[in-house]
Amino acid sequence: MSYTLDEFAADCHATLSSDPGPGGREKVRRQLCDLLREDDFVGAHCGPDVSPGTSLLYEDDQLGFQIVAHIMGDAYDGGPHDHGASWAIYGQAVGYTDMTEWKRLDDGTTEGVADIEKAKEYRLERGDAGIFDDFKIHSISYPAGARFIRVTGVDLSTIARARFNPQDKTISVSKRENFTGA
């Protein structure tokens, strides 16, 4: 019996209703791994016939979390950023995504200044998923044709998020459109 998007969304709702914290998010991460091992799901939402871009697969009307498919036509090497006051779980469906986690070295008291350095690097391949909690600094890189599912705690376009420039040691915080890829 296959695991479907509707079942995953219902499981996310039940899990996050009972535990919206790190334990619940970890359970959702594991559930996303299960979903991404389902050939029917990957074929329907991340397969070769799906056009590049992003598509909202589900938005929970009570809890506000979103499930979004990211179908990447071009290669991308993004800069460090966070998702503000939201968490995100990235799950790989096709190809791979290289993930970099960053740590902040300064105390954050000087506006516009942020000194960060790489803390951890790893690769997500099909069926793998990683969590970035609120304000966790990270960057992603992937080849053309990569496809992943991202579950976020809220619609990211509604909250301020930070972008970091490690060379200039700067930070800018603003609301912006949800990630649409390269």
Domain that holds residue 61: 5-175
For the chain, strand residue ranges (E) read 53-59, 66-71, 76-77, 88-94, 96-104, 116-125, 129-132, 138-142, 147-152, 160-165, 170-175
CB 116 within 8 A of CB 137: yes
pLDDT for res 182: 41
Query: Domain tally for the chain?
Result: 1
pLDDT for res 81: 95
What is the rounded average pLDDT for all residues in the chain? Answer: 94
pLDDT for res 124: 98
Asked whether residue 101 is domain-assigned, the answer is yes
Asked whether residue 181 is domain-assigned, the answer is no
Nearest to 147 by CA among 50, 62, 57, 56: 50
For 53-137, strand residue ranges (E) read 53-59, 66-71, 76-77, 88-94, 96-104, 116-125, 129-132
Asked whether residue 182 is domain-assigned, the answer is no
Chain segment 13-44, per-residue pLDDT in tens: 999 999 999 999 999 999 999 999 999 999 99
Asked whether residue 138 is domain-assigned, the answer is yes
- The Cα 109–Cα 7 span in angstroms is 44
Q: Percentage of the chain surpassing pLDDT 90?
A: 94
Asked whether residue 143 is domain-assigned, the answer is yes
Asked whether residue 137 is domain-assigned, the answer is yes
Residue 119 has pLDDT above 90, yes or no: yes
First to last CA, the chain: 35
CB 94 within 8 A of CB 146: yes
Question: Confidence band (pLDDT; 50, 70, 90) for 68?
Answer: very high
CATH number at residue 27: 2.60.120.10
Residue 55 has pLDDT above 80, yes or no: yes
Asked whether residue 180 is domain-assigned, the answer is no
Asked whether residue 103 is domain-assigned, the answer is yes
Residues, the chain: 182
CB 117 within 8 A of CB 105: yes
Residue 180 has pLDDT above 60, yes or no: no
Bridge partners of 174, per DSSP, are 161
